[in-house]
Chains A and B, each alone.
Chain A
Amino acid sequence: MECNVAERKVVDAKNTFCPGPLMELIGQMKMAEVGDELEILSTDQGSANDIPEWINKVGHEMIDSFEKEGVWHIVVKKAK
């Protein structure tokens, strides 16, 4: 019996300004397979807003978003 377990890749974009967490996520999503999960780490508070905005606009799936010790963890699933 096969079980499809989504692969979760962590993208560490803490303390980086350019290209920044969202651009990094866009690039990583292009290389990911449909169903893969990516967790992006960001110290930029704006990421908590602009990443979900892009995810919703494109139609990927938002899995989780939380802040822990000054680092935003945003988990998304490639939907198409």
Chain B
Amino acid sequence: MRILVVGGGMGGTILANNLARRLSGELKSGKASITMLSASEKHMYQPGLLYVAVGKMTPDELYRDQVSLLESSITFRVDPVTKFNLKENNVVTESGKQYDYDIIVISTGSRTFAEGTPGLAENALQFYTEADAVNMYKRLQHFDGGKVVVAVGVPHKCPMAPLEITFMLADYFRERGIWDKVQMHYTYPIGRVHSLEPVAQWAQPEFDRLGITYETLFNMKEVTENKVISEEGTEAEYDLLVTVPSHKGMQVIEDSDLGAGGFIPTNRTRLNIEGYENAFVIGDTTNLPISKAGSTAHFEAEALAENIASTIKIGTPVRDYDGKVFCFIEAGEGKATYAMFNYQNPPNPKAPTKGIHWFKTAYNKMYWASARGLL
């Protein structure tokens, strides 16, 4: 049984390690094999970029060698896929090789698509890549006051990022002693300040308390050098623009005609690609209307690994992915909270505490144990 995992981010790594442990006997006897294809020999802890953008972490803290995170029984190759041929059960890679499989898991992730909004990439600060996060911090260092606008595209990775960057920027300006010279203005695509209603009910009074203004039902249409124009017909002038841009799936997904926008139609409980019993998707690559977040990929990976292993051992999957998501929320002022929910149970976040912030800070270091499947 040849299992091919495409993508070495959080989802692919947790899945491959979990599967390698469940199938240790089959791997030793040669009855099964696991191969991972990735675009990079490095694995990045992506949530850390938020901290890099405000000078709380440096990029070197965010990387490990991918091979050091994987069980030794997994074959790892840096050779990105250039074409998925699901009907023929194979992929073709950048090196020109063809990899045949019996089961494939696609976890290629998503990427920012600022260029989809005219003027955004040229005028806004972003923090979703190492270069962008470092650039943002360097620009912040030379900002001495004025109007800061936070603008949010759809869809975007990490649903808490718009709130977190807003509260963390407020902290940054306070620590620099220029808060009285800064006017922060938060915009959001739907009719409240966060998609999760309980989170919005907590965040809006926090904005009021801090003097952060906000505008909802604000979707970026166009950005000039000093203002953001919304689809809804309003404008927000800025001196400094920070964006959580819209995201797309990877180009290879679109090139292989697997899904519009690079997101693959996926069964919400079994995580198989619609129409295929041996092809699965996890993480940002799915088209599921749930949070694009590391924890989503994590919980999907655990459920899918269990099902692939049980299918190999007893011929049938044993559980459904229940839609579980867990998101920390950095709330500023040294506090944090979290939201946990699934398809059936809505979130009920508690008031932010210093203890949860410390735990999140610790998790930034413990992530590597999570990727290895130990946490």
In chain B, positions 189-240 with a C-beta closer than 8 Å to chain A are 189-191, 195-197, 217, 219, 231-233
Contact B323 A23 (CB under 8 A): no
Q: Residue B159 contacts which of A13, A19, A26, A30 (CB distance < 8 angstroms)?
A: A19
In chain A, positions 17-58 with a C-beta closer than 8 Å to chain B are 17-24, 26-27, 30-31, 46, 50, 53-54, 57-58
List, in ascending order, chain A residues with CB within 8 A of B347's CB.
Answer: 17-18
Complex-state Cα separation, A13 to B195, whole angstroms: 13
- Can you list 22 A-B contacts (CB < 8 A)? A12-B268, A12-B289, A15-B323, A16-B323, A16-B343, A18-B339, A18-B341, A19-B290, A22-B189, A23-B155, A23-B189, A24-B155, A26-B190, A27-B155, A30-B154, A31-B261, A46-B197, A50-B190, A50-B191, A53-B217, A57-B232, A58-B219
How many pairs, one residue from A and one from B, have CB atoms within 8 Å of each other in the complex? 75
Q: Is A62 an interface residue (CB 8 A)?
A: no
Residue of A nearest to B234 (CB): A57
List, in ascending order, chain A residues with CB within 8 A of B155's CB.
Answer: 19, 23-24, 27
Q: Is B246 an interface residue (CB 8 A)?
A: yes
Binding site secondary structure of chain A: helix
Q: Is B291 an interface residue (CB 8 A)?
A: yes
B94 nearest CB across to chain A (Å) = 27
Complex-state Cα separation, A57 to B323, whole angstroms: 32
Complex-state Cα separation, A24 to B154, whole angstroms: 8
A→B interface (CB under 8 Å): 11-13, 15-24, 26-27, 30-31, 46, 50, 53-54, 57-58
Binding site secondary structure of chain B: loop
B→A interface (CB under 8 Å): 116, 154-155, 159, 189-191, 195-197, 217, 219, 231-233, 246, 260-261, 268, 288-291, 323, 325, 339, 341, 343-344, 346-347
Q: Residue A27 contacts which of B154, B196, B232 (CB distance < 8 angstroms)?
A: B154
List, in ascending order, chain B residues with CB within 8 A of A53's CB.
Answer: 191, 217
Known A27-B154, A27-B155: A19·B191 in contact at CB below 8 Å:
no
List, in ascending order, chain B residues with CB within 8 A of A23's CB.
Answer: 154-155, 189-190, 195
Contact B190 A22 (CB under 8 A): yes
List, in ascending order, chain A residues with CB within 8 A of B159's CB.
Answer: 18-19
Complex-state Cα separation, A26 to B191, whole angstroms: 12
Complex-state Cα separation, A21 to B217, whole angstroms: 14
